[in-house]
Amino acid sequence: MIKIHKKYIERTFYLAKKGLGGVRQNPLVGCVIVKEDKIIGEGYHKKYGEKHAEINAIDSVKDKEDIKGSSIYINLEPCSHYGKTPPCVNELIRHEPKEVIISNRDPNIKVNGNGINALEANGIKVIEEIKRREGEDLNKRFFTNQNKKRPYVILKWAQTEDGYMAREDGSSQWISNAMSRKLVHKWRSEEIGICVGIDTAILDNPKLNVRKWYGEDPIRVIINPKNKSLNNKKVLHDNLSTFVMTEEKDSTSSKKKFFKLNRFSFKSILEKLFDEGVSTLIVEGGSKTINYILKDNLWDEARIFIGKVNFKKGTKAPDLKIRNKHKNINGDKLHIILNDEGNSNK
């Protein structure tokens, strides 16, 4: 029986991943309805503020009477409170499945165990922790938000084979290849915020938007403690949302917001961003900003491209343990490092 449960929970993971970039600060959730070892309905949470996975799965069942006595698989405990949508657990109870099988409890204090208790109080069996670790990894952003009360932080940079991320003049185009750069735009579409330091914003004058992939543009976050001038820079002269974190002034102009921080640290930046609804953040540089974050150990994941070029001199790449395991991106090496006990900075 456990083998069958794992099979259908894996299907919920597959469905849930389709919501990446669309559900924003909500968790990734998939739902599968099974009757007599046959899938009769399935769905996933597609977009923030819209129907949740359980409702989409129920809607997909042709004859709703078939749901009675079924097994419903969900990778995350069904919600039991009113938010953008009504509680999913009420709708599940109404259709009388015999059991609900989940991977993880929802860590949100508004839900945590309440959805399970409601199901059991109505005679519906609940089975928990099927592929629990995989479920936690799937929703690593959401679990970080709920448990640490800050955004999930992804560091991203490209470095040369000899360990540099910029030449002596500060230029870095192009260390990684076109395929790697396209992948970076996909990543941007999956996160809510994108961050660079002021020097990168001034020297590189980047757009920091999504161009080589389809998806929403992230909110640009510029770390600018001394309020250096951003006049004539792209991040202040378009219609995209931009947050500038500074010690000097606090103001709002159109979609550009300047936040004055009394305690200027990356921790306080993350706290402010979290308050503003930025639950995930990809940091694209430069070296000073990334080293600053590594020093404070306020990161969750690093994605490092190693291109087939050598600079011999220049700005050294951050000193992070890079193991041999990597993905080949059309000749570039992509290392993905998680900040666990075995992968902290040196």
**For 91-137, how does the pLDDT look when each residue is reduced to its tens digit (9 = 90+)?**
999 999 999 999 999 999 889 999 999 999 999 999 999 999 999 99
Q: CB under 8 Å to 292, separation ≥6 — which residues?
A: 266
Return the number of other C-beta atoms located less than 10 Å from residue 202's C-beta: 16
Q: Are the CB atoms for 188 and 209 separated by under 8 Å? A: yes
Share of the chain above pLDDT 90, in %: 76
Active-site residue, from 42, 54, 191, 301: 54
22-26, 73-77, 285-289 — most confident range = 73-77
Task: Name the residue range of residue 308's domain.
Answer: 149-338
Based on the domain organization, do 108 and 88 belong to the same domain?
yes
pTM of the predicted protein model: 0.91
Classified as helix, coil or strand, 233 is: coil
Asked if residue 344 has pLDDT above 70, the reply is no
Question: Could you report the per-residue pLDDT of 274-325, keeping only the tens digit for each?
Answer: 999 999 999 998 889 999 999 999 999 999 999 999 999 999 999 898 887 8
Give mean pLDDT, residues 22-42: 95
* Chain Cα centroid distance, residue 312: 35
Based on the domain organization, do 128 and 271 belong to the same domain?
no
Diameter of the chain measured on Cα atoms: 70
Based on the domain organization, do 126 and 167 belong to the same domain?
no
**Per-residue CA distances from 163 to 288, 308, 324 (Å):** 15, 11, 15
What is the length of the chain? Answer: 346
Residue 231 domain flag: yes
Based on the domain organization, do 170 and 135 belong to the same domain?
no
Based on the domain organization, do 233 and 116 belong to the same domain?
no
Residue 67 domain flag: yes
Asked if residue 24 has pLDDT above 80, the reply is yes
Residue 345 domain flag: no
Based on the domain organization, do 121 and 155 belong to the same domain?
no
- Strands (E) in 163-241, as ranges, are 164-166, 193-197, 219-223
Is-catalytic flag, 54? yes
Based on the domain organization, do 262 and 288 belong to the same domain?
yes
Residue at which a domain ends, from 94, 128, 145: 145
Residue 113 domain flag: yes
Q: What is the CATH number of the domain that holds 248?
A: 3.40.430.10
Based on the domain organization, do 177 and 48 belong to the same domain?
no
